[in-house]
Structure 1
Amino acid sequence: MSMAKWKEREKQQRKNDIIDAARKLFAEKNFDEVSMDEIAKKVGLGKGTLYLYFKNKESLYFAVVSRGTRIWAEMVKKEVEKGNNGLEKLKLYVNANKEFSNEYPDYFRLLYSPSLIKKQFDMEKMTSSQEFQEVRELFKEIMLIGIDSIQKGVDEGKIRSDVDPTEAAILLSVIYNGKVNMGDWAKELLENKGMDEHKFTSDIGDFFLHMLMKK
């Protein structure tokens, strides 16, 4: 391996280490409670070194979110490709969302957190971030897979013809957003009914499919 390639590999590994450290802290705390100093200490680097890789905390936050979104997108694509028709693809789409939220709960929480913490961000820094733009594009890509699956189901007569595919896909996203950000009172009600988070996530998918399918 040439010296240039070795240095590039080392640089990428350090960047990954920074993202790993930031992921753990952002998953444990709110955005405004995490500092670049804290992230630097966790990864064993000087604060100044972090700014060689990420221009600000917003950029680093969305680098973490971007990694999670890429994992999510790959899971969705891989599952949906197994379907032979629109309804099957939609079921696999819903299942992939469920599996992602169960397997990567910290990423899932971070993906839906910006809706709550956007007031804490410097909006100019956030929207100008390359990582933020990547997250937006990936998220739209995931949504389009859902929309396309629903449209196929409508065209094939398996899903109600009065269902708007875009509206339905957005509704599913809103439902998951609500699940992540639901209050302690809701969690307590579910626990009192003996429902854990995995059961509730599974039921969300079942309810959603039931609303769309023809009787």
Structure 2
Amino acid sequence: MPAVTKTSRTSSRLRLRRRRERADLRRSEIITAALTVFAKHGFANTRAEDVAEQAGIAKGTLYLYFDSKEAIYEAALEYAMTQLRELVSERLQSATTAAERMRVFVGTRMEFWSAQGELYQMIMTVGREKHQKKRTAKIIRESVDQINLLLREGIERGELRERPVEMVGWAVMDLIRGMNERRVDGAQPTTIAQDAEFITGIALSYFR
């Protein structure tokens, strides 16, 4: 039996990494294709073969990466949430005061989902289904925690008066979601900047 050398181990690790990178790329391509098809036909009317066709792969190949349409939806949702987290984090770096950070947080989320209107509508529909409610609640809880963190940071820096933040976090999130839905439906008369300013003013007034 030939000896396993350092070079062969390195080569094996490199091949494994390349296979993983190719698999990650293919998953990304499938998710992108799924978002296109979901936006066009809606989640309920989309078939797995529609996604496979859009991705340019065989239906059997699709099932090597996702075992169901619901699994594709969950991966697409996580993909979108990761993009949103990174975008919010990046923009918050240039915001200093509590008001600026809240305005950036709210405005970025609204801008992101406005650009992803079809996906947002799908999330609002599928996310309310019984088997998805726990996942949806977890995502909303994470967002509320982010809002609460921004508020606590403002309190620690002495910009905001010491007060409980939990209810404010939920109120801000409810306002964001409501305005997002109306905007996606074409029924929100104000701009994203105006909405962000309004929500920020309402939230911070509680701490003054």
SS at 1:40's partner residue? helix
Give the one of 180, 202, 205 matched to 1:211.
Answer: 202
Pair member with larger Rg:
2
Partner of 1:150: 151
On the 8 A contact 1:87/1:149 being kept in 2, the answer is no
* 1:109/1:165 CA distance change after superposition, 3 Å: farther
Give the one of 117, 123, 126 matched to 1:117.
Answer: 126
Shift of residue 127 of structure 1?
A: 7.4
Give the one of 62, 67, 71 matched to 1:50.
Answer: 62
Q: Which runs of 5+ in 2 are unaligned?
A: 1-10
Provide the C-alpha distance between the structure 2 equivalents of 1:69 and 1:86, rounded to a whole number of angstroms: 23
RMSD: 3.4
SS at 1:83's partner residue? coil
Shift of residue 77 of structure 1?
A: 1.7
Provide the C-alpha distance between the structure 2 equivalents of 1:51 and 1:127, rounded to a whole number of angstroms: 25
SS at 1:152's partner residue? helix
SS at 2:182's partner residue? coil
Matched to 2:197, the amino acid is D
* 1:98/1:115 CA distance change after superposition, 3 Å: closer
Shift of residue 67 of structure 1?
A: 1.0
SS at 1:32's partner residue? coil
Partner of 1:12: 24
% identical aligned pairs:
18
* 1:183/1:33 CA distance change after superposition, 3 Å: farther
Matched to 2:167, the amino acid is E
Give the one of 26, 33, 36 matched to 1:21.
Answer: 33
Shift of residue 120 of structure 1?
A: 5.5
On the 8 A contact 1:85/1:152 being kept in 2, the answer is no
* 1:178/1:84 CA distance change after superposition, 3 Å: closer
Matched to 2:201, the amino acid is H
Normalising to structure 1: TM-score of the pair?
Answer: 0.71
Shift of residue 70 of structure 1?
A: 0.6
Matched to 1:165, the amino acid is V
Matched positions, count? 194
Normalising to structure 2: TM-score of the pair?
Answer: 0.73
On the 8 A contact 1:112/1:177 being kept in 2, the answer is no
SS at 2:191's partner residue? helix
Partner of 1:172: 172
Q: Deviations over 1:41-89 (max 9, x none)?
A: 1112221221111121111111111111011111222222333343332
Shift of residue 119 of structure 1?
A: 5.9
